[in-house]
Amino acid sequence: MNIDSSYRSPNFTDRRIPVEFVVLHFTAGSLQRTLELFLDPKREVSSHIVIDTNGSVYEVVPCFSGQALRAWHAGVSRLEVNGSLRDGFNDFSIGIELVNFNGNLFPYTEAQYSSLCAVMERLKALYPALARPEAVVGHEQIAGFRGKCDPGRCFEWKRFFALCYPGQGAPGREPLCSAEVAASLQGMVDSAGVQYDPKTGLATLPQGVDHTFFNGLSKLSEDLLSKKA
Ligand SMILES: [Zn+2]
């Protein structure tokens, strides 16, 4: 697996973290837009790893050395694990961003699943806590109460666990976004004229439709879903 480490984010805390979890996200924008955000010190966001639709892997905050630094991907977050409450996942997790304008609408590509598994193999070898499938969660499992709904309905958790944790079962990972909310987002995408190619994962955006439109969709779903959570 080829890892591009030439884009380094200034947005991290310069301190080693113990790695107990991996948190999966979608970017809500193109690779280029995502790297722009992560490299902008004013944005104060980052993730350790970004996986593009073509499977290319970018290490934006160090983690492949075996000494992960603290990236800023999870925000306010919590999860009950074996009866005790864990919160503040940036302190003990690696964040992986999958490039996708909206993972509640658009499928992830073959290349992304395959790179994700290669990445997980590397990380499992470095961080023993990741040997258990329970160690991989979506942002929606730990921040659904804020309406975070990534990686979303289109992420195939069963396929992911079968590929990356063969024979180890598949912990339940229900999407937060309801079919109803997804349908209303789909309506907006359709009326904006967005075309999506499931093979390449590339969306064709009409004139005037850019990341602002998809940020709007994410904001809308956060508002709708945080009320219910
Ligand atoms: Zn996220």
| C-alpha–C-alpha distance, residues 159 and 52, integer Å | 19
Q: Model's pTM, two decimal places?
A: 0.96
pLDDT for residue 200: 83
- 56 burial class (0-12, 13-18, 19+ CB within 10 angstroms)? middle
Q: How far is the CA of 74 from the centre of ligand 1 (A)?
A: 6
Residue 182 pLDDT greater than 80, yes or no: yes
The total number of structural domains that make up the chain: 1
The pLDDT confidence band at residue 204, using thresholds 50, 70 and 90, is confident
Q: How far is the CA of 26 from the centre of ligand 1 (A)?
A: 6
Which domain does 61 fall in, by range? 3-228
CATH of the domain at 152: 3.40.80.10
| C-alpha–C-alpha distance, residues 189 and 183, integer Å | 10
24 φ, ψ (degrees, to nearest 5): -95, 140
pLDDT tens digit sequence for 129-170:
999 999 999 999 999 999 999 999 999 999 999 999 999 999
pLDDT tens digit sequence for 65-82:
999 999 999 999 999 999
Across the range 117-130, mean pLDDT stands at: 98
Q: How far is the CA of 100 from the centre of ligand 1 (A)?
A: 11
Residue 219 pLDDT greater than 60, yes or no: yes
Q: How far is the CA of 95 from the centre of ligand 1 (A)?
A: 9
pLDDT for residue 190: 92
Degrees, nearest 5: CA angle 174-190-220: 50
pLDDT for residue 197: 86
Q: How far is the CA of 79 from the centre of ligand 1 (A)?
A: 15
How many CB atoms are closer than 10 A to CB 31? 18
